[in-house]
Structure 1
């Protein structure tokens, strides 16, 4: 892929993310509480396997809402964002009171980057830096505490790799 084409895709992904956030401002679009499907998710590290229950955000509306306005999340829970295609992903913490670890995952289920201990309510853009198709949000500090690192394998039904 040429550098110019990658730049166009990167700008397009950023504009798409901003559009989704803008849609949240429309009356009735954002939901204060939502019921999302959930599934088992495993992160396989060098020596350990960590099991989580992940809510699945697979539509534009679900991804735009994410964990905004949530004040707590169980330690063994998270949210998995599923995108249509692999591209650089952009997140922010606006309206999100929970500090989070944001884990970017390739289409093959490998962790490609981690934004650890993000700042609640921040409007600073958090890029994946590398194309990702999935994003897993966990409570801040979870990745470091459990030794989850770049290169670890993530398995779930939504990723297409069933946890065993």
Structure 2
């Protein structure tokens, strides 16, 4: 008579291995989803590191000065991801310049911001291609979970306090010098 208990032990062992494999894969997926959520909401700290500072001058087509800014230059992924997030305020003639290797469409996201910004898109030749204003989130849910964004074309993106462009008469077609 064959020993049936041996077959049952093998089936139980295989079933147990499958259960552990499913639990392991499920655990990894949950961990990845939690990390993505924390990264997306800005709750997972990403450091920007040290920023190079530059002075930029904005002029109209004839060379008349519109304004001068001191900017932090965000070149690396970490610097660009952090940007001005969780910055309490920005001095009147300060900003952040995002640099990219070539001209293209750029999406800018207001992540964890306490104040509105003018987003100035600048072509590789220094010409301003567009300006958009983004508002700061209205509450904690917007602050952590929903973000305003805008898309424009340029090799550089300049973030300054909302209203700076209008106050200085800056518009598309004006020029920026001092770019990296």
TM-align CA RMSD? 2.3
Q: What is the correspondence of 1:62-141 to structure 2 with a 5 Å cutoff? A: 62-116=79-133, 118-121=134-137, 123-128=147-152, 131-141=153-163
1:25 shift after superposition: 5.3
Structure 1 residue 22: deviation in Å? 4.7
- The change in CA–CA distance for 1:87 and 1:63 in structure 2 (over 3 A counts) is same
Using the alignment, how far apart are the partners of 1:58 and 1:70 within structure 2? 18
Which structure: greater helix fraction? 2
Aligned to 1:145: 167
Q: How far is the alpha carbon of 1:157 from its aligned partner?
A: 4.2
Partner of residue 56 from structure 2, selected from 21, 24, 41: 41
Mapped contact 1:100–1:138 kept (Cα < 8 A)? yes
TM-score of the pair, normalised by structure 2: 0.67
TM norm structure 1: 0.73
Rg larger in structure: 2
Give unmatched runs, 5+ long, in structure 1. 1-18, 159-164
